[in-house]
Amino acid sequence: MTAFPAPLNPTVDAIEAVDRPKARPVRMSLADIGKPCERSIWYGFRWANRDQCRPARWNRAGDIAMAVKPLLIKWLTDTGVSVETVDLATGNYHAVHALDGHFFSPIDGIATGVKEAPKTKHLVVTAALNTQAYRRVVKVGLAEAKPDHLTKAQFAMHLLGLTRAIYVCCDRNDGSVHAERIKYDAAHAMAIAARLERIKFVQRAPVRIADKPDHYECRNCAAHSICHGSEFPPRNCRTCLHSGCVQNGEWFCVRHNQELTTEDQLAGCPNHLYLPELVPAEQIDADERAETVTYRLPDGREWVDGGDRQTSSPQPLEALESADWSAS
């Protein structure tokens, strides 16, 4: 039987086709720290992930979740709770800063007048959840159902010097609301801070959360093809062994002895050499004078990073990237 052609829907097609800017995150944020895999946070901070090709509907689901946040704040203030979203001293939205400028995140607000403890300032954390996640939070509590959200709350309280948070979430489907107060846990917060400091400084990728590529944490990871596969990361200053993060959120290049703007970092330069940890091969030599690093690829060939600097663009790896080493 001949199949009917799919119905045309120009409006939906147009929405699907809208391009989203693919900005690299300059700093770590609360969105990162709940991830259970330290290695994936490191890949993100080091701009080692390929540009994201997320399904457009994921972005729209994120938009919906963000759009509901002000509503949750309104529902809270409708009860007489006061929620401050702007820091009156600076005129800026409340945010948290850490890691000497390498961590920044806006927060939802700071509340006073919370029914259970009206005089205590509370960090406000809102979330619009799908029905399954919402029901689980209600049933087993935030710590068990959404440990990543608890982690964000603990670290934000730590940075703001607050001792309580109020987590307000809703079911996006039917508008049910749940609230849960969280007590600051210094040990938890300090462990998060130590973890982020480690990620900021290390030149080597932290251990994988799982060695199996089909592990549930890995399946949708933006670094999957680099972490478990043989893909090379993009060339930029953050994947270069000459770079390092310094004070005030800055990055520095020891090769050129200069600070790097975000634009510099995105552009990289012909002297780029991969952090060896990011090359899916075994390092076998390095020549400081020639500024090259030699690797043995999984198929036995040798590849010299920097070897074709004189003759080609700083993206010499297309042929190697397409090689299939999975059988080796």
Residue 121 neighbours by CB under 8 Å, 6+ apart: 110, 111, 112, 162, 164
Cβ–Cβ under 8 Å, residues 123 and 166: yes
Shorter beta-carbon distance to ligand SF4: residue 35 or 136: 35
Shorter beta-carbon distance to ligand SF4: residue 127 or 205: 205
Shorter beta-carbon distance to ligand SF4: residue 185 or 250: 250
Shorter beta-carbon distance to ligand SF4: residue 52 or 82: 52
Q: Give one word for 239, left, alpha or beta, with left for phi > 0 and alpha for psi -120 to 50.
A: alpha
Between CA 223 and CA 47 the distance in angstroms is 10
Cβ–Cβ under 8 Å, residues 100 and 248: yes
Shorter beta-carbon distance to ligand SF4: residue 85 or 271: 271
Minimum Å distance from CB 323 to ligand SF4? 20
Minimum Å distance from CB 220 to ligand SF4? 9
How would you classify the pairing of strands 251-253 and 82-84? Answer: unpaired
> Amino acid identity, residue 62?
G
Say which residue the tokens 């490191």 belong to. 42
Chain positions contacting ligand SF4, by CB under 6 A: 37, 39-40, 43, 208-210, 217-218, 221, 223-224, 227-228, 237, 240, 242-243, 253, 255-256, 268-269, 271-272
Shorter beta-carbon distance to ligand SF4: residue 49 or 154: 49
Between CA 323 and CA 328 the distance in angstroms is 11
Residue 251 neighbours by CB under 8 Å, 6+ apart: 237, 238, 243, 244, 245, 259, 260, 265
Shorter beta-carbon distance to ligand SF4: residue 177 or 254: 254
Residue 1 neighbours by CB under 8 Å, 6+ apart: none
Shorter beta-carbon distance to ligand SF4: residue 198 or 301: 198
DSSP 290-307: TTEEEEE-TTS-EEEETT
SS3 146: coil
Between CA 57 and CA 207 the distance in angstroms is 31
- Across the strands, what pairs with 245? 251
Helices (H), 5-52: 10-17, 30-33, 38-45
